[in-house]
Amino acid sequence: MSAKKININLKIWRQVNKEAPGSMVDYRLEGVSTDSSFLEMIDQLNEQLIAKNDEPVAFDHDCREGICGMCSMMINGNAHGPEKATTTCQLHMRKFKDEDTIVVEPWRAKAFPVLKDLMVDRTAFDKIQSAGGFVSINTGNAQDANAILIGQETAELAMDAAQCIGCGACVASCKNASAMLFVGAKISQFALLPQGKVEAKDRAIKMVSKMDELGFGNCTNEAECEASCPKEISISNIARMNREYLKSAVTGRNH
């Protein structure tokens, strides 16, 4: 059975570069397969624009498998679109109806300046991770899988936090542009495991300080970040981050 075809109206943010002002531009796209992904629909639009010698819409993408976190778009006011626990590249056009109007914008945050159209600069996340999201211990040769005993519940919590793909949906959906869910996840995945104890006294303070320095806002516990996260990272990681930060402040930092 062939896929259904729909016609859609698009309102897409166009911006030449980060210094230039941007604006919403209207497009009409006909014959969109409901089996195509949202990014494939943008590809179809770009083919149409290129055929007319118009500038194609710039957007980030890489794996198109929901792993890399590059496909950052606000779709009708929702980070990554209307489907829960789904990245933009995994969102399919069957979620939309014939003659729908779809509004597509880049992430909106001071720390994520727009580079062009739907592309934003998320190197702020890299700077936060560089500040403390690593393990410097010399581990030597690989150990047997069961050499370091970790309880199942602890291991699962660490793996849940490690699922964060750094897409920035948490920042984009928060009214304060807070990065605390991202930072909480990165701190948690190390804080829960014995390998992360070496830098424990420094990690939380360094990462939180870098987050504040880069212009991210504070958390006001409204949980938009958790609701929009494509990997369903829990806000309990923010609470763990706060505990790690307090422990670091009380016990003193390594120098």
**Residue 177: pLDDT band with limits 50, 70, 90:** very high
**Cβ–Cβ < 8 Å for 185, 134:** no
For the ranges 24-33, 156-165, 194-203, 233-242, the lowest mean pLDDT is seen at 194-203
pLDDT, tens digit (0-9, with 9 covering 90-100), for 100-157: 999 999 999 999 999 999 999 999 999 999 998 777 766 667 667 667 788 899 999 9
Is 170 a residue whose pLDDT tops 80?
A: yes
DSSP tag of 31 = E
Tell me what the mean pLDDT of segment 43-65 comes to: 97
Provide CATH code, domain 5-115.
3.10.20.30
Tell me what the mean pLDDT of segment 38-56 comes to: 98
Is 254 a residue whose pLDDT tops 60?
A: no
**Dihedral sign from CA coordinates of 77, 78, 82, 88:** positive
* CA-based nearest residue to 254, from 198, 215, 216, 208: 198
Is 207 a residue whose pLDDT tops 80?
A: yes
The residue extents of the domains of the chain are 5-115, 123-251
**Domain 123-251: CATH architecture, name and number where available:** Orthogonal Bundle (1.10)
Is 246 a residue whose pLDDT tops 80?
A: yes
Is 32 a residue whose pLDDT tops 70?
A: yes
In this prediction, residue 3 carries a pLDDT of: 80
| Phi, then psi, of 173 in degrees rounded to 5 | -90, -10
In this prediction, residue 255 carries a pLDDT of: 44
**Residue 252: pLDDT band with limits 50, 70, 90:** low
